[in-house]
């Protein structure tokens, strides 16, 4: 069941969300209306659509089509400082013992080669909601109950609502920049990726977000992906919100080798790269966002960025790159999905670090042995 967006157990909302979903059975061959609180049906021989009205006793109905669903009634009203009233959604995998037809989930992250995804939404005005693409993971191959890790991809946010926890920086994933939030609702940990403006449709590899979460130390490759879901969390209103189409596969067969492919190395001393180093500093720590741009005329196939951190700075976690530190020396290497940089292309990674003393930034960077221009 979808969990609340904040730790509201004291208010009884977690208990409300803990009721097991009920499968209606059968397949929606024509439009199907679902008003049952936890009613669901299957479509396309592959996906489950669920009403999932977990946070309110008020009525909610969805119309299920052959490719998605729309909200046709939503009477619940949730406090914008609290949890939403529901999570009507479509999913693949297993959710509170309700498993989609023929699913290969749960499966360990280390055995997933790719997870191609595509989503198309219809948005409405005058409502308070988020459009969320949810990825659930757990240390065990869990098919029931609460998973320990939730990844939320917020493709749209309307009204005075926010993710669980607090912002921890930005991430460049799937060709976009996301604000990253991290926290816990009391039942599971949550990392949220929030788009700066509404995204009506998107095609991407869900593994990019899973890998970023792994690089932040929130999960390991031994964890299991249990389900991937897409829908809406309404607080107030929402009639007309729709998932027009949803496509999600999980391909297995092993992971891409962690050793980067041979790099196309620019001639020593010939600056064919630029680096932008952006930070957010507080009393005893900071986050850094590092953007690398290939300013040369040849494609870079696999990159390693080297530089030195000033004294008193120690990296504690990173994302979108494998970042290691030995003394002051830092080595950042690409991951499987961001190692190719065509001429003019950029990629970003980041990290969080502790700070002891005055803050300053690195003085120089080298990419595959060539000195980069600082921008």
- Selecting among 130, 134, 138, 150, the annotated active-site residue is 150
- Selecting among 233, 246, 287, 367, the annotated active-site residue is 233
Cβ–Cβ < 8 Å for 234, 129: yes
Residues in Cβ contact with 259 at an 8 Å cutoff, skipping those fewer than 6 apart: none
Query: Which of 12-47 are b and which e, b meaning 16 or more Cβ less than 10 Å from the residue's Cβ?
Result: ebbebbeeebebbeeebeeebebeebbbbbbbbeeb
Residues in Cβ contact with 85 at an 8 Å cutoff, skipping those fewer than 6 apart: 53, 55, 56, 58, 60, 74, 76, 77, 78, 234, 235
Locate all alpha helices (DSSP H) within the chain, ordered by sequence.
13-16, 207-215
Q: Which of 299, 276, 296 has its CA nearest to residue 361?
A: 276
Cβ–Cβ < 8 Å for 264, 327: no
179 annotated active-site: no
36 annotated active-site: no
What token pair was written down for 116? 């191609």
Q: How far apart are CA 193 and CA 319, in angstroms?
A: 13
Q: Which of 235, 229, 230, 231 has its CA nearest to residue 58?
A: 235
Residue with tokens 């403006």: 197
Cβ–Cβ < 8 Å for 321, 215: yes
What is the SS3 assignment for 320?
Answer: coil
Q: Which of 143, 148, 123, 120 has its CA nearest to residue 133?
A: 120
Distances (CA, A) of 177 to 44, 130, 208, 274, 348: 32, 18, 13, 19, 9
User: Which residues are part of the catalytic machinery?
Assistant: 150, 233
């Amino acid at each position: 069941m979808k969990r609340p967006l904040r730790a509201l157990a004291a208010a009884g909302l977690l208990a409300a969300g803990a009721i097991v979903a009920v499968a209606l059975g059968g397949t929606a061959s024509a439009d199907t209306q679902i008003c049952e609180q936890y009613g669901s049906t299957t479509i396309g021989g592959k996906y489950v659509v669920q009403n999932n009205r977990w946070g309110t006793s008020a009525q909610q109905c969805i119309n299920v089509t052959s490719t998605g669903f729309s909200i046709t009634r939503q009477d619940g009203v949730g406090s914008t400082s609290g949890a939403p009233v529901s999570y009507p959604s479509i999913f693949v995998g297993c959710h509170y013992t309700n498993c989609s037809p023929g699913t290969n989930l749960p499966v360990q992250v280390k055995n997933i080669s790719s997870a191609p995804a595509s989503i198309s939404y219809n948005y409405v005005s005058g409502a308070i909601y988020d459009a969320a693409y949810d990825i659930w993971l757990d240390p065990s191959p869990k098919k029931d109950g609460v998973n320990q890790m939730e990844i939320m991809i917020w493709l749209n946010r309307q009204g005075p609502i926010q993710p669980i926890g607090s912002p921890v920086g930005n991430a460049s994933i799937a060709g976009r920049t996301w604000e990253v939030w991290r926290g816990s609702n009391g039942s599971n940990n949550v990392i949220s990726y929030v788009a700066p403006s509404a995204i009506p449709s998107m095609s991407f590899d869900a593994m990019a977000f899973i890998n970023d979460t792994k690089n932040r130390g929130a999960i390991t490759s031994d964890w299991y992906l249990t389900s991937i879901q897409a829908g809406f969390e309404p607080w107030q209103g929402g009639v007309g919100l729709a998932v027009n189409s949803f496509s999600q596969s999980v391909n297995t067969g092993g992971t891409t080798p962690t050793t980067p492919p041979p790099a196309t190395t620019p001639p020593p001393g010939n600056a064919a790269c630029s680096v932008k180093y952006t930070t957010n500093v507080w009393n005893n720590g900071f986050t850094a966002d590092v953007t690398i741009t290939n300013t040369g005329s040849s494609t870079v196939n696999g990159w390693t960025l080297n530089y030195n951190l000033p004294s008193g700075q120690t990296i504690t976690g990173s994302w979108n790159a494998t970042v290691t530190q030995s003394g002051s020396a830092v080595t950042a290497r690409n991951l499987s999905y961001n190692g190719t940089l065509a001429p003019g292309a950029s990629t970003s990674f980041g990290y969080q670090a502790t700070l002891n003393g005055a803050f300053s930034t690195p003085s120089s960077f080298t990419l595959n042995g060539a000195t980069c221009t600082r921008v």
